[in-house]
Structures are given as C-alpha cells and as structure tokens.
Chain A
Amino acid sequence: MRVRIFTFLLVVALVTGLVTAALPSGMVVAQGITHSECKEDLTGMTIPFYTFGDLSGPYAPITQPLAAGFSDALKYFNGMGGICGAQIELVQEDSGGDREQSLSIYQRFSTADPKPLLLLLYASADSELLRERVAEDEIPVFLFAGSTIGLYGEKADTPGWIYAGIPLYTDQFGAFCKWVASAWTTDLKREGAPVIGHLSWEGSFGRATETTETTAYCKAQGVEVVGGEYFLPTATDVTAQINNLVSKGANILYTTTLASGTALIAKDLTTLGLEEQVLLAGANWVLDSSVGLLGQRTLKPSGMPSTDGVLGLLPYTWWDEKHPGTALVQEQFTANNRPPTARGIAYLAGFGAIDTYIELIIQTVNRVGKDNLTGAEVKKTLDGFKYEALGGVFSYDWTNGVRDVRMTRIGQLGYLRGADGAPVIVEVGGQKMLVPVIAPVTTESVPVPDLKPGGADVPK
C-alpha cells in the first residue's frame, strides 16, 4: 500500500514537473482556468487548508455540500499538481453551530504550528466573533457570507483581515431595491409602488439586511420598507408573519434565510392565496437548487411550484449557465457520484474557494518565496488581489480596501422546461420531480450600492 502511495506521489510529482516545465506563461489547469506561473517548485510540501463550521448543527444543510465541494476540489486540484507541486491538505472541524466551540476550534487552529495561511469560514456570526482575533493573530479569513461587522467592523470604517466571496447582505438588498424600482412596472408588470417587508430567520445572519441605511436607500429609490418579522428556523408556519407584513402594505417579501426558510415562506404565500399579489425575493442563498427541490410540493393555481419565480441576487455564475468553470465543476460532480441534492451554491463555492486558495498561495510564494510564506504575507497578496476563480464563475477584486464582492446580477429560480414549454419531469429515487433552474434576469453585472454605515451610497 505504502509503495503504491509513493509511486503515485512520484508520478504526480513527475507529471507536475513536466507540466510546469512545458507551460511558458500561466498554468492552465483546465480549459478556461488559469493560475499564475510558479516561480518556485513546491514539490514535497504539504500546505494545509483550514476551515471549520457547522457540520452537524442547524446550518448543516449548507455545510455538507460545501465539505463535499472541498473534498472533490482537493482531489481534482491535487491531481492536477496542487500548488506548484505542493499537495493541499484539508483541515476541517465541526463546531455544531455552537459559538463556544467556534471559539475553541479557532483557538486550536490559530495556535497550530505553522500558523494557518488562510481560514475559510461561512457563518456571519463566526466572522463577527473572530474579527478582532484573526487580525491579532495575523490569519486572513476567506468568508462566504456578507456580514458588515465581520468585514468592516462595528462602525464599518476599518476593513479587517476578513475577505468575503459575496456582496454584503445590506448591499445585496440595496441592489435589489434599485433593480425592483426600475423593473416594477416594466419587467415585472406590476401596479402601484413596490413595498418591501423583511421576513427572515432570527439571528445575526437573518437580521443583517434590515438596517437604517438600507431602508433609507430603498426609500430614495422609491421603494418603501415597512419593517421586518424574524422567525425561528424551527417554525412550522409563518402565515401570521406574512399577514402582518401584507397588512402593513408589503407586496414584496425579502428574506435572508437558507433553503428550508425560503421554501416555507413560498409555501405559506401560496397557502394564503397571495402568490400573485406578493413577490418573494432574497439574498443570494435564496437562489439555490435546494430551495427549488424542497419547495416543489406546493403548487400555485397555475400548476407551477410555489418557489417558481423567486427572485434573488446572483453574484456568481450558476451551474446552468454555459461556462468552462461550471462545466468543470459539473464534470467533477458527476465523476464523484454526488447526489442531485448537493448541486447547489455550497458545492460550487467549495470548489471556487480551493481554486482561489491555490492562486493566492502561488502569488504569495512568487512574491516572497516559499520560506517566507505566512498569513501576513497572504494578507498582503489579498489586499491587491484580483482573480477570476474557476475562470470567472466567481470574480474577486479586493483592491482599494474593498473586502467583499461589489458586482451582482439579479437571478430567478424556475424549473426546467422542455422544447414544448412544459416542465421537464425526472425521476430521482423513485419520486417524480421538477428540475430547478436558476437563471439571470439581468444579463449584465451591476455594481452594488455601498450601504455600510457611512457608506458612499447612503442617502444623507
């Protein structure tokens, strides 16, 4: 067994060496995905990739596909030569969604020898909790969430050591307000003025969107925000909350929840017969296949599922779009026999994160050499980092003190239709299902408004 591993490693090393030597500028990993050229050969090194999160707690539905994405991406990229020949090793721990445990895991990671070069997190609350400490410990964090406090601090004036892979939740909401104001009578063919009510999960994730700044910005765009209702993720029914918001005049519900929350809202809207009267929209997590899979049991009078037509923010390229990056992820997804339920944003994000990590380390090593590779140096690279992860599936530009993604599109959840316009039905595990499809509504990415406290786009 051991001999086999060594042979394998030798072959990998040789192949890597050959590939590295054969490519003059830039390293093409797959069609459309290019990493910077390696100036140093790191063969023989093992570079750890640290992440922790809620593998077994309430956010587990998003974590497990993410973990699957990590493990498949590592298998793929390590097979393609890793980071200039160095193998990437996944160090992952389970916090169970408990903040105490997050703190203790972080403490264990931050005292590892050598220190982590980068830490990947995706819980807003974890990032906010650890913001000060990662700066002291000089460990940059790649966060897949849009927490203003985590990225820019309590007064939103100090960009810290945390870099986000999506726009801030406040800015996402602002971008939605701006779009909905312009599309209300035209694309959406609605009457009157758009009025938004927030309906999200209790906790720092769900409550991130409704701030005085976003409300003021939306008002300036001609969209009124009538307040928010925050329900527990265990809720069986949100009809009372919907009724409250609708009786205040809301004709759009904006939600910051994960799949089960969004599906529940969509279902209860249909139950109350409000599916035509009230639009459902939400942050980027709302546009996920799991929402489409979970929410297709309740049908609108039109015969389509209650989640059909949910709007959301789409700051990346989705699986269903033709793109070499998504094609690669799809190929690996199929090759690893992942279940269709895992085909969502989390798996894609996991893949993108590993790709970004590789590029980040290559650039840092090229600048300072492999012996000076530290978190502080990685942070310096991040401060001027511009990268099209997976060839443009995710587009990162963290120059000029920006810590999040500043461009987005608006997308919509729908269901795959055949040539005749009828929905396509597939059979999974003996159950007939519709196939959720997420497609952009606006083809061009637009900049998101800056709605941090004191941000540039906040109305004075």
Chain B
Amino acid sequence: MDFLILGKPGYLVLQALVTGLLVGGVYALIALGIVIINKASGVFNFAHGFMMLIGALIFWSLFQSTGLSPVLVFLFSGVVLTVLSTGVRFPANWKREQRIAVIAVLWGLTGATLIQTDHLLIRALVGTALGSALMGLVIERLTIRPLIGQPLFTSVMMTLAVGQVLLGATQLTWGSVERGLPVFATTNALGLSQAFAPIRISGVLGGMLVIKTELLIAFVLAILTFVAFVLFFNYTTLGLSMRATAESQDLAQAVGLRVRAILAVAWAIAGVLAALAGILHGASTGISITMAGLALRAFPAVLLGGLESIGGAVVGGLVIGVVEKLGTAYFGSDVGEQLMPFVILMIVLIIRPTGLFGEKRIERI
C-alpha cells in the first residue's frame, strides 16, 4: 500500500525533505559567512562565492601528497600568524616574552604540520584555515578599509570587483579543470579513495530513504559552526566586542575597542567560513568554477533569515534547501530551484520587511 502525501509517494516527499535539509546546511554555511561580514561592517559580500572557490582549491592542493618547500611554509605561516595575532587579545597579565613564545610555538607547530605529508587531512585543514583567513584579511585591508566613511554601496560594489580578481587568481593558479575532492572517503581494497557509502533506511513511508553521508557531515558541521558562533558571540571578549562594533562603530571606538582590528577579524572569519562551505560542497560534487554561482543561490537564505542574524542565516539556509527540494519533487526542478526560493523570499519580505530574524531599526527624523 502506498502512503501518499498530496498525491506523491510519502517516501519521496520525505526524501526531498531530508535532502533539502541537508543541502540547506551548505546554504546555511554560505549565508553565515555573508552575515558575519554584513553584521560587522554592513557590507553585503558578493565575492563570497569566489572566496569559497579559492578556499576549496587551497584545500585541494594541500590534500595532494606533494611536499611543500619548508622555507616558503615557514615564511608564509610566520606572516599569517603575525597578522592574525594582532587581532587576538592576550590576557593582560602576560608578559611580552610570553606572548612571543606562544606565537613562536604556534608558528613551529603550523610549519611542521604543513611540511609533513603523513596526515594530509590535518595539513589541508590547517593550511586552508590560515590561507583563507589571510585572504579575508588581505581583502579587508586592501579594498574595504580604504572605503571606510564612503557611501556603503561603494563597498558593496568593491566586493564585486574583488570577486573578479579572485576569479582571475584561481584561473592563474589552478586553471579551470574540474577536480574531485575525496575528503569524506575511505581507501578501498584497490587502494583507491572511495566516498563514504550513503546511509540507506528501508521501509520508511513505503520506500527507501537515502541519506548522503557527505551532505550529512556538511549539515552537522554547519550546525556545529552555528553553535560555535553563538558561544563565540555570547561568551568571548572578541565576540562581544564584535557585537558592540556591529551595534555602533563610533560607540565601540569610544569605549576603546579596536574597531579596525575587529573588522579585519570579521573578514578573516568569513574567509574561513567560505573555505569550509567550499570544501563541503566540493566534497559532494567536485570543485568546479560553477561553485562561485552557488553563493547566488544562498542569497535568498541570507535575506530570508535577516541580514544581521546568525540564527536567521541557519534557518534561512535550511528553509531554502527544503523549499528547493520539495518544490522540485512536486513541480519539477525549473519551478523548484529557479522560482520557488524567490517567491518565498518575496512573500516573507512583504510580511516581515527585515527578514525572519533581522534587526528592526526604529527610524526617527
């Protein structure tokens, strides 16, 4: 006996729902990256898709077993750590020597991690985190900071130009070859890396439910990242000062927060988030130049949740994922993927003009 939901076999509807939620996890990660920057500086980042692409490609390169030149590795990680450490607030009672020692130890550890080729996953993760954070910092320093005090829309357009430069940089370094990224994979009997098998649950609503492992991992990571961010923004000094800066840059400056450093950190975090989203997407479909376009599909997620809301980004991502897949199951992919996310977005915006969880600003004359 078939179990039907609105004329569709129940297991297919459930399948669409589950896949939608899981795909929504990737959208949520992308949306998070865009929201972090918007929250800190009010800039909507159109370059996010290209940051994802570069992050994923850095990861791919480090995931290959080719060794790196030790001199370059130490120079690079030294530079990145020095830059990053300027954004960290050490406990006030630490002596200068202690701070330097901590950084030096970190430097040695990262350098050693990047040189070795026995644990590729760790190397790739550490390298990508550093590389993408550096990318975020460089973008902020070279293109966004000179525009402080200028019309906001100029900064938004700037991210567009940055996207083009990043595209040029990927073309120059990696070309446009499509690459498989066997990260959620085991080695099979032949010595080939093989993607994790999907989880199959049979006998659900009259059929079999298939859960893609890599999408599940992406989903779990997205949720973990979200939880980490909630903790970060609520309990750490840096997170609290970022929230203060987002509230009012002038006031934050007045109480002694280093606004510029905080903006830089926001971009570094967005770089890392972009890389993470890129890796997770790449792991399920391979790295291709079309990845940059995926960020466009996450735009409705950002707006749905609200431009300033971390939780909203996650909810928005999941909602858009589910809408896409359910829409596809019922009306076909052209309606489901191209039309429904935007129709839903329009409806939500008309009912709640600042998204589901966006900040409502009280306007005065």
Chain B residues whose CB sits within 8 angstroms of the CB of A239 once the complex forms: 15, 19, 210, 212
Is the CB–CB distance between B193 and A240 below 8 Å? no
B interface residues, how many (CB within 8 angstroms): 57
Residues on B with beta carbons closer than 8 Å to the beta carbon of A231:
333, 337
Q: Which 5 A-B pairs have the closest CB atoms?
A: A430-B65, A60-B176, A240-B328, A234-B293, A233-B290
Docked complex Cα distance between A429 and B208 (Å): 39
State A423–B15 Cα separation when bound (angstroms): 34
User: A357 CA to B26 CA in the complex, in Å?
Assistant: 47
Structural contact, B176 and A61, CB atoms closer than 8 A: yes
Is B19's CB under 8 angstroms from A240's CB?
Answer: yes
The reply to whether A237 and B175 form a contact with Cβ atoms under 8 Å apart is: no
Name B20's closest neighbour in chain A (CB-CB).
Answer: A240
List, sorted by A's number, 28 A–B pairs whose CB atoms are closer than 8 Å. A56-B167, A61-B177, A63-B176, A229-B333, A232-B293, A233-B293, A235-B285, A237-B212, A237-B215, A237-B284, A239-B15, A240-B336, A243-B15, A244-B332, A247-B9, A272-B210, A273-B208, A290-B177, A290-B178, A294-B178, A297-B180, A298-B194, A299-B195, A432-B190, A432-B192, A432-B193, A433-B192, A434-B192
Q: Nearest chain B CB to A122's CB is how many angstroms away?
A: 14
Tell me the nearest residue of chain A to B170, going by C-beta.
A56
Using a CB–CB cutoff of 8 Å, the interface residues on chain B facing chain A are: 9, 12, 15-16, 19, 22-23, 26, 64-66, 167-168, 171, 175-180, 182, 185, 188-195, 198, 200, 208, 210, 212, 215, 281, 284-286, 288-291, 293-294, 296-297, 325, 328-329, 332-334, 336-338
A340 to chain B, nearest CB (A): 10
Closest approach, in angstroms, between the C-beta of A360 and any C-beta of chain B? 29
Contact A58 B293 (CB under 8 A): yes
Q: In the complex, which of the residues B22, B168, B195, B334 contacts A202, with contact meaning CB atoms closer than 8 Å?
A: B334
A residues near B290, Cβ cutoff 8 Å: 58, 233-234, 260
Residue of A nearest to B26 (CB): A236
Find A297's partner among B23, B26, B195, B337 (CB 8 Å cutoff).
Answer: B195
Q: Are A234 and B297 in contact (CB under 8 A)?
A: yes
Asked whether A447 is an interface residue with its Cβ less than 8 Å from the other chain, the reply is no
Whole-angstrom CA separation of A285 from B61 in the bound complex: 27
- B188 adjacent to A247 (CB under 8 Å): no
Q: Which of A202, A237, A339, A342 contacts B19 (CB 8 A)?
A: A237
Complex-state Cα separation, A74 to B65, whole angstroms:
35
- Residues of A within 8 Å of B182, CB to CB, are 297, 431
Residues of A with C-beta under 8 A to B189: 303
Contact B178 A61 (CB under 8 A): yes
Q: Do A271 and B212 form a contact, CB below 8 Å, given A61-B177, A234-B297, A259-B178?
A: yes
How far, in angstroms, from A235 to B290 measured CA to CA in the complex? 9
List A residues at the B interface (Cβ < 8 Å): 55-58, 60-61, 63-64, 202, 229-241, 243-244, 247, 259-260, 263-264, 267, 271-273, 290, 293-299, 303, 339, 341-342, 422-423, 425, 429-434
A424 to chain B, nearest CB (A): 10
Please determine whether A341 and B177 come into contact, CB atoms closer than 8 angstroms: yes
Q: How far is the CA of A313 from the CA of B172 in the complex (A)?
A: 33
Find chain A residues with CB under 8 A from B188 CB. Answer: 299, 303
A307 to chain B, nearest CB (A): 11
- The residue among B16, B65, B291, B332 with the most chain A CB atoms within 10 A of its own CB is B332
Residues of B within 8 A of A298 (CB): 194-195
* Apart from A239-B210, A240-B325, A425-B191, 11 more pairs, CB < 8 Å: A64-B175, A234-B293, A234-B296, A239-B212, A267-B195, A273-B200, A273-B208, A294-B178, A339-B177, A431-B182, A432-B193
Question: Contacts of A296 on B, CB cut-off 8 Å?
Answer: 180, 192
In the complex, A259 Cα to B175 Cα: how many Å? Answer: 16
B26 and A240 within 8 A (CB)? no
Question: Chain B contacts of A429 at CB under 8 A?
Answer: 64-66
Return chain A residues, CB-CB under 8 Å to B15.
239-240, 243
A residues less than 8 Å from B200 (CB atoms): 273
C-alpha gap A297/B189 in the complex (Å)? 13
Known: A243-B12, A429-B66. A56 touches B168 (CB 8 A): yes
B215 / chain A contacts, CB cutoff of 8 Å? 236-237
